[in-house]
Amino acid sequence: MRAIVEKDGLAQHLLWKGGGNGYSAHPLSTCRMGDDAATSALDDQHELRGHPGIFVTDGPAVPTSPCVNPSLTIAALAERASALLLRRDGEFGLTLRTRVPPPGRTDPVRRQRCAHPV
């Protein structure tokens, strides 16, 4: 673990004295979203700067630690990003399907496609 953390002199590994061999962390902000290109890899649309069409919507996009379990923050960012991506679908050659059946209900064609042999 020390070799990974201290690689290239970017961080210092501090000895953690705890029980067992478990490590726990929320890997956040490794590809953060922000206004300043010098400090953030993603723009405000979740798109990787200089690489059009590459989007990050998981924990690495969180700009900073929220000081609580980040699952709801990550879910909110992903939901926000999905709306942004749907607005830009034409740029990527995608066709937006406007009617999607609610969970648990499928149209007859899809039901036939998804049928499993007995």
Q: Catalytic residue positions?
A: 26
What tokens does 61 get?
Answer: 């996009």
What tokens does 19 get?
Answer: 């029980």
> Which residues are bridge partners to 33 per DSSP?
42
CA atoms 6, 10, 16, 22: torsion sign:
negative
Residue 79: Cβ-neighbour burial (10 angstroms; 0-12, 13-18, 19+): exposed
